[in-house]
Every structure is written in C-alpha cells, then in structure tokens.
Structure 1
Amino acid sequence: MVRKNRLFISVTLLLVLLLIYYFQVGSLLQTQNSNGDSCLHYYEALESGWSNRFYSVNQESLAPGKDVVQLVTRINIFSRCLQQTGNRDIQLLRDIEKRLFPYLNFRGLETNEIDFWPTHTRWNGEVYHASVLEFGSRNGHFVRSRPIKYNSALSFWENWLQTATQAGSRGIVISASDVQLDETLRLLKVLRFIKNNFPIEIVYNGDLSQDTIKSLVKCARNQDAPEYPAQEIWFLNVHSVLSPGYSDKFLTYSNKWLALIFSSFEIPILLDSDTVPFVSIDMFYKLEEFQRTGALFFKDRIISDDLFEPSQVEILKEVIYGCIGLNLTDESILHDRIINHIKDPTVVQVLENMLIKRYKHHLESGLVILDKGRHLFSMLTSLALQFSPIAEYFHGDKEWFWLGALLSNNPFTFYPVDASNIGKLGSVISKETTGEFYQICSVQLSHTDKDGSLLWLNGGLNVCKKASWGYDYEHNQRLAANFQDTEELRKYYQSPVQLEGIIMPDADISGWVKSGECFLFNYCTLFKEGQYGKVIKFTGTEKRRFSQIVSVWNEQIS
C-alpha cells in the first residue's frame, strides 16, 4: 500500500509538470509574436528563490526522479522560450540563466567581459582573446580572427552560437590535460598519417602546462616526415568561462562537456585521446545518420553482467515519462509504447536494452559527432545530468550524451552496427564443434562500417593501456604462470597490438567476458560458425595498412 501511495504521488507530480509544460509553455509559444517575453515568466511562477541544486557530484536526493524531471523541464522550457520573437524582459532572462547554468562565470561577464572570454593559442604562439576563429571550409586553414561582439539583447547561449562561433565550422576537438599527453601525441601522429586537414583544438580547464603544449605542437608540426601534413593545432583554455565555485567540479570525464560545448567549431567531432581513426575524418561527417539527425553516436559493448537495480529502472522510467510523456509503467505493452513513441529503430533497441534487460552500457563516447546549432541544449541537458541525483547510475559520461538528447526531445541516432572486439584472431579447438571457432581477447573496442570495414577503435594500440602489470601479475594466477616476472609482463602489455580480425559477439549466447588482464579492461569474445557471433577476417591489404597505423602509434615519442 505504501508503495502504491508513493507511486500515485510521483505520477501526480509528473502530471502537474506535464500540464505546466503543455498548457503554460505550449500555448505561449503559439502566441509568441503577441507577447514575446511571457514564456520567461513561467519561472516567476516557481517557488520563491528557486535554484538548481544539482550541479554537485554525488548529491543525495529523496526524490531523484522528480528532481531530474524538474531540472530537465526547466532547461527545455528555456530553450523554447529563446525561439520566441518580440520584446524580452532582459533582466529576467539574465536571472534565469544564472540559476539554470550556475557553472558559467556570469559575474565575470558582467564586470569584465574581455577577461571572461576564453583564450585561443595557435601552434605558432599567436594568442587570440575574446575572438572568433574562422577557418577555410575546404582546407581547414586558419583564415582570420574577429572580435566577439556580445549582444546584450540575446541570451548567453545565443551569443555563443551566433557571435562567438563561426557558422558551419568543423574540426576535431580533444579534451586533454597533462595526464593524457602520451596518448594525445600518438593520436596526433595517426591524424597526420591519415592526412587529416581539419583544424584540431585541444580544450583544457587551466590544467595544461607549457611543456605539454610545446610537446604537442612539436608532434603536430615537425617536418621529420614531410609526406604527412602538419596539423593546424590550437589550444583553448576555458577556465575563465567557468564560475570559480564550479571550475574544479569538471574533472576527468566531465571535461568532455567543456570541450564539446565551448569548442570553436559549430560542428565538432569529439575524440578521446586514446581513440584511433582508420578512415578520413571527413567520412564521419558524410555519414547519412549524422546528416539526418545532427547527432551521431556509436554503440558500446553489450555488458550483460553489470545491470541496473530494478528501483533504478523505475526512476529512469519516471524521468523519461516526466520529460517526454512516454508512459512506461505497463510491462506487458512496454515494447509497443516504445516503438510507437520512438521512431528510430536503433534508439528503440537501446531503450529496450536499458529498461527491459537493465543494461547499463549503451554508448561509446570515444568519437562523437554533433551539430551544436541543432543540439546545444541537448548537451547542456547532458551536462546537467552528469551532476544530477542519478549521476551514479551510469559509468562516466557516456550515457548522458544520448539521454540528454532523448530527454530534450531532439532527434539523434546510433550508428546501426554493433560494437566489436578487434585483435589477434585465435583459433579454438573443440571436439564438439564443426566449422570455424575463433576467440579474440583485447582491450580495444572497434567500430565498423556497414560493409565490415574498420572505421575507428578506442583503447589505443598497445596490448594494455593501463600500467597494471604489477597488480595483474600479483592477482592473476594465469599471468603469473605464463610470465617469468612483472618486467616480462610489462613488456608484453606495452607491445603493439596485432589486428587480424574482428568478432561481433552474440550477447544473448556468448557475450563479452572479462579475462582478468589489464586491470579488467581486457575482454574476450567468441565466434562459432553457424551458431553465434560474426567474424571478419582482415585481408592482406587491410592487415598491411593497419600495421602501418599500429607502427605509427607505437613509435617512440621524442
């Protein structure tokens, strides 16, 4: 009875929020020309002194679903209010922004605008402050800079897109600090090898030393191999944009939001430092799924032994219903309701994996393609979710990318090919099996095109990306039996990978299994001909090209 009462109260609160949204906001948007600022006055009807309390890590909440719905609804309404024309109550607009986005340094913007804007530093040492960078659309070369002309009649985010960002600009964005130096250097070497001509921007939060910057510039620009083009590399320090009370909250994964949102490009491709592309960057921009939606994500491993608690799934259902009106309470018709509400089959699959199978891992964030002109507020919602009462439900930043777009009711999609395991293709001998039987064990997560060709992988190109040989040797009996000492294991871990093939496992029969190596980052997958899984064997030509990239990535860093 208590549970039913709680459920009734939760549903009632959600219905109230939906009524506010549809009747107060929906009708206001239809009459926007006659009353341009009325939409903003929705916030005046909220409780006195309202604020968002959710931008603090690990915050406990007695009603996490309600709190998240409230937060996302406020951001959604604000983004729709900005679509209105007519006169605006600018002071009210400013007050709302400060409460919705407390991590922004609004005080700095108001008292010293010049010092507020981030600083761009080009590879040659040129510094551009409070400036918009412009790049050539064909060759990615730097063309010019121009001063940011802040329009006080617009919101901060309208200013960011319309006056502080070059329209239609494209480029690679990498979130890095001194800790990721080695991996970032190796990524730059691969980008040169594949003849990348898009500008590259390293975004950091005041945590990149001058020595690190010099090393990155040297790697990107040196003429040791003139056949590989020098890269147009920039460094963007966003520390001044962040409120002093929030700057140090953006740690590890959270820095990706800063890189994506504050990058100079309107349409960036976000790369992890240990991501390795095997095709031209331009190919990702040409993918039909991205051109159709403006937000393309790639799938993660399907991990069937790391599941949500049933109570967490109920909270997620509550959040989805409260934000987009998708009622998920009746288990018997859950599938029908999802496919009737969500038209994209890849998103339907992901939602069912989360809500029915209780899987936690869905999106691999090593490479993300996003049109901020269409999806800025989706990312602002994702950022808020990263610090919300349900932040601990997922691992790191990954799932907030797609959940931010879903709860903002913006179109997005996943690339319709499952993630795969890539590495040395080992034959398995079995008396009970006829036909081919293979296993791959690796830390690398790969992504292939629809024709089976390799697009990119995450995890670098060493056998193990973690300095865990001491721990693993001590805690894994098999490794202790196969290697003479930790030094021999270290040499093995730091050796180049062998890329011979790919296995896409059938997670319902034989899925991803941790091997116990590489601090539990190594996964094994199986393929049995005619029974389960899919195997792709690389051709001789493919192996030779891939081995070149492996060699480039593993070259000694000078």
Structure 2
Amino acid sequence: MFLYKKKRIILLLILIFLLIGSFKLFHFSSSPVPYITTSENIVHTNTFRNGGFKNGYYIEPEIIENTLGIELKKTHSSYSVFTDDLNGQLHSLSTAEKCRVLARTTLLGDGPLEESTTDEALARNVERFRIYNYCFLKGNIKLTDILPDDSIIQLTTTLFPYMNTEILLNKESSNLIQKYDIMTKQEISIQFHYNHVNLFQSWVEKGNGKGIITTMAAKEFDFFLRLVKVLDKLDNRLPIQIVVTTQEDYTNFKRLLGVNLQHSKQDIQIINVSYILNEEFVKKKISGYLNKWIATLFNTFEESIFIDADVSHCRNTFFNLEPTTWESEMIGTKWLFDLEFSSSNSDFDGFSTEQSIHNSFFNDGIMHQIDSGVVIMRKTIENYSSLLLSLQLNMADVLNDCVHGDKEYFWLGPLISGNKYNIDPTSCGAVGSIYEETVENTNTKRIGICSTQIGHCDFNNSLLWLNGGAKLCKNPNAAMNDFERYPEFMTQRYKNVDHLSEIYNTRLFIDGVVIPDIQKESMQWMQTRECSQYRFCATIDIPKDNPNIASGNVIRFDQEEIASYNEISALWSEDISE
C-alpha cells in the first residue's frame, strides 16, 4: 500500500524486498518441497501427504450473520462536539480565531479523551483529533500563539497519551531520540522538537533520506537475521532502522546485532525512542502490532519502506466516524469517499482500487481488504497526521477484533482524517508450488497452491515481494501445537510431531502464484489446519476444454525466475549459523 499521494518511490526500491518474508500478519502459500536445480530442470515433490483437497481438510468458516443492506450513514450526529451554539460562534471567524475557540472549548473544555470503549467516545475522540489536525498540523498554527504552556501539556496528554509530556518542559534528557550504528558502533542523539512550536512539525521537517524501517520482538530475532542475509544477497544499499520503545530492548539489540552481524554489508541502525514516550502507557498499551506505528512515526527518514520482521458492530462504529455536515463546513473535513457514495454505488466496474476497497469494506462488510507487509511512506504533515490517527484507531478498545492487526488502519487512518492515500492495485496470491487435479465427475480442472506465504507480482508477472518467510511454516512450535489441537487429523497424515516438524522446516519451492477470484464462491481463500492454521489454499477452477479462461489468475514463472527465486528461498531457510 502506498500512503503518500500520487508520487511513489521508484518501483525498483520495492524489488529489494523480492521474496523477503514478513515477521507477522497474514501468511498464505504453497505446500512445497525439497528441490534440486540443474542446468536443465528443477525436480520437486509435494511433502504434504494426501494432497490438498481431501474431505475434512479445511477448517469450517465461521457463520457470520448477514448484515448487508443496512443503511450506510452516520448513526448518531449527537456524538459530535460541534453544537449549534458553537457553530454560531465559529461561522464568521478567521482560521486562527476559530482555532483559539476550538482549542479552549472542544479540545480542552471537554476534559481528557475518554477510553475509546464505546462508539460515542471513539467518535468524539476522532473528531477532536481532526480539529487538532486542522489547526496545528495542516493549519501550521503555533501552539504557543493559542495556549499557555500548561494548557499545551494538558492538550498533549489528552490527544497523545503515549507521548512523554516532559519533552514539553524543555528537559533535554527527555527530548532525545538515540541512533546507534551497528557497524561503526557510534551513537548520536537527536532532539525531537523545539520550543513548543508544534510537537510533531519539527520532527517531520527533520526527515532525511530514504531507508527501510522495521520493528521486532526478541522472539523474531532469528527472522531478522535471515532477512539481513537476503538483503546482502540482493545487494541492498538502503540503510535499515530498527525502532525500539524501551531502554532494555535498545541495550539487548545493540549487543545481539553487534555479535551476529559482524560480516553483514548492511547499514543497520537502532533507533531508541523510549525517552520521548510515556513509559507506563507503553507498558500498558503498546505491544504487538502497535509497535509498527511507533516505527512509522519516529524513524529518521523522509521516505521509508516499512516491512514486517516476518462483524456488524464494527461497521456501525466506523459509520459514526464520518464527519458531520457542521464539521465539514467549519473545518473542511471531507472523506475521499463518503458513505453516501458507497450506498449509491454497488457496482465496482470502473472504480479505482481505493474506491473498490472502500465499497467492499463499508458496503459488503468485508473487514479484511489489504496486506500491509510492505508500506511506502513520504514524511509530510498530511501523511504524518494520517499515521497519528491510525495509531489512535488501532488503540481503540471498541475496535478490537474488527480487523486483523494493523493492516486496514493504513488506509482507514488517512480516510477518516480526511487525507488522500494510494493502494497498490495488484492482487495478492498464494506463492509456492502449483498443482493441478481434476474435480471428480466434472469437466473441470482445479489449479491451486496451498502455503503459508502470500505475495504480489508486478505488471510483468515477476514476483515483487513475499510475506511469510521462505519455509513451509515459520512458527517453530507449530508441529507440536497442531498435534495437540488436532491429534486424529494430524496422525492420519503425518507420522509424528518430529516428522511434521521436519516438513515445516523444509524450504519453500516456488514456481508460480495463484490469485483466487474472490468474487466466485468456489475460488475463495481456504484455510487449512497445518502451521497453526496459517496455511491457506488459493484455487482456480477452469473448464478442461478452455484452459486459458483464468490465465490471469495463474502465474507460472520461467526457469530463470524459478532458479533465482529458489536460490533466495534456500538462503532464507538455511541454518542461521552458516
């Protein structure tokens, strides 16, 4: 997904991530195989016994109540902080005067932000953020021109509870971000902001150069070392920043990376943002996927590529985040596509990728739209405000379990904040070893891939990037977990835990991509029980007498591509000590 406007970082930058596994998020892919490469051919066998489509193989999908056809509209305009009285005051004021009133009434007068545990609390919190964005981010009005120092601290605590407010008290020790270079062993300190002018503006302006950003937990250290080996192989020249939120992680990663990456060619830096964050809040709320937002907000690059180190109540809640007519009139908040647009346009033909995804999400209730294993960002005030709101949405309790992890917030953040965004138009597919079989008693041939990796190809059908590592299953405990959870199923197909573990550690063999046609019920992603249920099958059914009917959904790589991709797969999968 591309977060900045229409400008994109040169496509070649993405090629750096060819076949790079992500550390988390969705994992789809094929059921591979040991392989042997020769100058003439590549031989492989399917290591998953009994094929991919036997009775009882799939996990039954959850039955979700059909809520489609409900009216798409903001349910409760009464949630808005804008009232008739307030709008009467604002109507004829200049922007600066309008912001003075808004800051003292809606931003401070309503008290601290409520925990976003209800639709009303979330709607009001989002609206107050958009006011802050209108005045102090996009509007570039100085906080000191509107509020005294104590009110600036109160406002920061209200809207950005994860920030350490001591950075606003001119305490130098709490206004620093540390950057440590693994290769040179040099450390420098960077001042986060200056003189209350704007908490984030000076940081955005400091963004410099292009690079790769990521974050990881200690358990993902092995994945990062494999990633570095692949980047060495691909001759990557972009610097890499690992963003950490605690002093403990900073100290540990300096030691671990210093020991394990002595022979790497990569320029790797550790960014320690623990001083500018509220330590107690981070312990309580910032974990897992939320660390990604810290990395995207507080890296030092101007342009960056983020890569991973590896339900009806939800729709109504999102409906209530649409700006009211009063808000649109008073501070100009407008969505790229509004709910009325989705209500009146159920036919996606001719839509842009962004339009189609908006409609699928709000009209059809499909809560899983994109993968965010690779995100490209240019650090501007508009994009930065989108990321700030994305983090707020991702922390909202009322939105728990609405989407998987962080991925949808990369487009919902800019949409709801009233900014523009771009989503790559290519569809993802399962990557791995293609198989074909005849569907019993039909004239239909089924082409498929079952695996734990998903990937995207470019418009020339070359593999652009891969999510999920390059082993059949990246989870080191999956074999044991699978036998404990489905003992009868696993025993019928695999000898024992050790046998399945050996299979899971097999390198991924890649000869193609299958992109399911999700508009057809028979061609959906299908979840299996292997690899802690992270193994999915993508299939295409075609008539035997018309094999080209779905050619765009099946990509078969040529021998040169197969050899290249599998060389990198082998490098990723080999023993990390080699």
TM-score interval, smaller chain: 0.7 to 0.9
Q: CA deviation at 1:87?
A: 7.9
SS of match in other structure, 2:503: helix
CA deviations 1:201-225 (Å, max 9, x no partner) are: 11111252655434434554406xx
Residues of 2 paired with 1:457 and 1:27: CA distance? 54
- Give the corresponding residue for 1:358: 365
Q: CA deviation at 1:124?
A: 3.6
SS of match in other structure, 1:543: helix
Instruction: Identify which of 16, 31, 39 aligns with 2:99.
Output: 39
Q: Normalising to structure 1: TM-score of the pair?
A: 0.78
Q: CA deviation at 1:44?
A: 0.8
- Residue 222 of structure 2 is aligned to residue 182 of structure 1: yes
SS of match in other structure, 2:224: helix
- Give the corresponding residue for 2:464: 455
CA deviations 1:501-536 (Å, max 9, x no partner) are: 100001122110001111111001112235657100
- Give the corresponding residue for 1:300: none
Instruction: Identify which of 292, 298, 301 aligns with 1:265.
Output: 301
Aligned length: 480
Residues of 2 paired with 1:429 and 1:27: CA distance? 71
Contact 1:189 1:219 (C-alpha < 8 Å) held by counterparts: no
Once the two structures are overlaid, the 10-residue window that deviates more, 383-392 or 396-405, is 383-392
Of the two structures, which has the highest relative contact order with CA contacts closer than 8 Å and spacing of 6 or more? Answer: 2
- Residue 181 of structure 2 is aligned to residue 122 of structure 1: yes
- Residue 417 of structure 2 is aligned to residue 408 of structure 1: yes
Contact 1:377 1:408 (C-alpha < 8 Å) held by counterparts: yes
Provide structure 1 residue ranges, at least 5 long, that are not aligned to the other structure: 1-6, 132-147, 224-229, 275-307
In the superposition, relative to structure 1, how do residues 553 and 149 fare at CA in structure 2: closer, same or farther (>3 Å)?
Answer: closer
Instruction: Identify which of 449, 459, 470 aligns with 2:480.
Output: 470
- Residue 358 of structure 2 is aligned to residue 376 of structure 1: no
- Residue 76 of structure 2 is aligned to residue 17 of structure 1: no
Residues of 2 paired with 1:473 and 1:149: CA distance? 50
- Give the corresponding residue for 2:140: 83
Contact 1:103 1:247 (C-alpha < 8 Å) held by counterparts: yes
Query: Where do residues 205-216 of structure 1 align in structure 2 (5 Å cutoff)?
Result: 205-206=245-246, 207-208=248-249, 210=251, 212-216=253-257
Q: Normalising to structure 2: TM-score of the pair?
A: 0.75
Residues of 2 paired with 1:468 and 1:377: CA distance? 39
CA deviations 1:529-557 (Å, max 9, x no partner) are: 35657100111000100011111111211
Instruction: Identify which of 254, 270, 279 aligns with 1:244.
Output: 279
Instruction: Identify which of 503, 516, 523 aligns with 1:505.
Output: 516
Contact 2:211 2:240 (C-alpha < 8 Å) held by counterparts: yes
In the superposition, relative to structure 1, how do residues 388 and 431 fare at CA in structure 2: closer, same or farther (>3 Å)?
Answer: closer
Contact 1:39 1:81 (C-alpha < 8 Å) held by counterparts: no
Q: CA deviation at 1:407?
A: 1.0
Residues of 1 paired with 2:154 and 2:201: CA distance? 16
Residues of 2 paired with 1:83 and 1:60: CA distance? 31
Query: Where do residues 52-201 of structure 1 align in structure 2 (5 Å cutoff)?
Result: 52-54=113-115, 60-61=117-118, 63-64=120-121, 66-80=123-137, 82-84=139-141, 88-89=145-146, 91=148, 92-110=151-169, 112-124=171-183, 126-131=185-190, 148=191, 150-152=193-195, 154-162=197-205, 165-167=206-208, 169-201=209-241
Residues of 2 paired with 1:387 and 1:422: CA distance? 32
In the superposition, relative to structure 1, how do residues 37 and 246 fare at CA in structure 2: closer, same or farther (>3 Å)?
Answer: farther
- Give the corresponding residue for 2:395: 387
CA deviations 1:28-53 (Å, max 9, x no partner) are: 5xx45xxx465243121237352223
In the superposition, relative to structure 1, how do residues 444 and 267 fare at CA in structure 2: closer, same or farther (>3 Å)?
Answer: same
Cα RMSD over matched residues?
3.2
Residues of 1 paired with 2:145 and 2:481: CA distance? 61
Contact 1:118 1:238 (C-alpha < 8 Å) held by counterparts: yes
Moved over 6 A (4+): 18-27
Residues of 1 paired with 2:317 and 2:110: CA distance? 27
In the superposition, relative to structure 1, how do residues 469 and 44 fare at CA in structure 2: closer, same or farther (>3 Å)?
Answer: same
In the superposition, relative to structure 1, how do residues 435 and 210 fare at CA in structure 2: closer, same or farther (>3 Å)?
Answer: same
CA deviations 1:169-208 (Å, max 9, x no partner) are: 1111111121210001111111111111011111111252
- Give the corresponding residue for 1:296: none
In the superposition, relative to structure 1, how do residues 396 and 273 fare at CA in structure 2: closer, same or farther (>3 Å)?
Answer: same
Instruction: Identify which of 249, 254, 263 aligns with 1:222.
Output: 263
Query: What percent of counterpart residues are identical?
Result: 24
Contact 1:103 1:243 (C-alpha < 8 Å) held by counterparts: yes
- Give the corresponding residue for 2:554: 535
Residues of 2 paired with 1:26 and 1:500: CA distance? 63
